[in-house]
Amino acid sequence: MSDQELIALALAREFLARRSERAWRAEVIADGAHWFPDVPKHAEWNRRTRWRWGAFDALRASWLRPLPIAPGGWEAIATAPLPIKPPSRVHGTTSGDWAGPGNDLVPRFGTCSALDRWCSGCRLALRTGLTDGLLRGWAIVPAPVDERRVADGLRAGEDDIPLLTDPGFRSIAWARTWAAEHNVHVLLAPSRQERAAHTRPPAVPQFVAPFRNRLATVNDTLKDRFHLEAHLAHQFWGLLTRVAAKIAASTFAKLWPLDLIPT
């Protein structure tokens, strides 16, 4: 079986919401033998898919490349919990099982300011078009992360954009630096306390609320349809591969009904 076939089957598994890789392989053998006569053993299937994790993100980027930036140019950067279960596996360990790139990405405990709760494991950072909901960039980061550093990485050299962020990105100095050096203007979503005390101009929550709902829909799709939090990964590279495949499948699911997948 070629690498292209394995990648296509991995995307099809996410698109069709097949949660078990082992059960999906059995389904391919039972129903698709005339298309895939040489299905590898499960260990080889899993190993070769992990080796090609970058292909999923390359596909996502190629699908988005012809599409213009959404009207208004607004984007949003936010992080969401990417738990590792059971939580007993998360003690800030530096064991090789969960070491990521640079051998320094390990599961820990941290707070999510947007959801106002603790999370165990990692966090998924997303850069999303505010009006079209397309995922323009993503990263897996430690749970106790400085979210401003995440935004610095996800911006990826883009200038002259307005950006909506969560309260965890609050920093006057950081926002002024971005505005002065990159013409990136940050609008901070109101916190719960600010919404309750009405300390922000009424136009701010009126503008932010509908777009926050759209961003929540993107996150809910990853969690509900693509089972993001039930990734079942035991090592970092398995987590990376599963997240890359789920995000690519989510992008495909959004563009395919609109006939926007390049051929």
Is residue 140 a contact partner of residue 105, using CB atoms and an 8 Å limit?
yes
Mean per-residue pLDDT for 7-22?
91
Burial label for 37, CB within 10 Å (0-12, 13-18, 19+), is exposed
Q: What is the greatest pairwise CA distance in the chain? A: 65
pLDDT category of residue 91 using cuts at 50, 70 and 90:
low
* Integer Cα distance of 222 and 229 in angstroms: 8
Q: What percent of the chain has pLDDT above 70?
A: 83
**Strand 75-83 to 117-129 pairing:** antiparallel
* Integer Cα distance of 165 and 44 in angstroms: 41
Which of 19-23, 70-74, 175-179 has the weakest average pLDDT?
Answer: 70-74
pLDDT category of residue 245 using cuts at 50, 70 and 90:
very high
Mean per-residue pLDDT for 93-98?
50
| DSSP annotation of 190 | P
Q: What is the pLDDT of residues 25-72, one digit of tens each?
A: 999 999 988 999 999 999 999 999 989 999 999 999 999 988 877 666
| DSSP annotation of 246 | H
Please enumerate in sequence order all residues whose Cβ is within 8 A of that of 99, keeping only pairs 6 or more positions apart, or say none: 105, 106, 236
pLDDT of residue 104: 58
SS3 per-residue string spanning 101-152: HHHCCCCEEEEECCCCEEEEEEEEEEEEECCCCCEEEEEEEECCCCHHHHHH
Mean per-residue pLDDT for 5-21?
91
* AA identity, residue 167: P
Q: What is the pLDDT of residues 118-156, one digit of tens each?
A: 667 788 889 888 888 888 889 888 877 778 888 888 876
pLDDT of residue 155: 77
> In terms of pLDDT, which residue wins out, 87 or 230?
230
Mean per-residue pLDDT for 216-233?
83
* Integer Cα distance of 49 and 34 in angstroms: 22
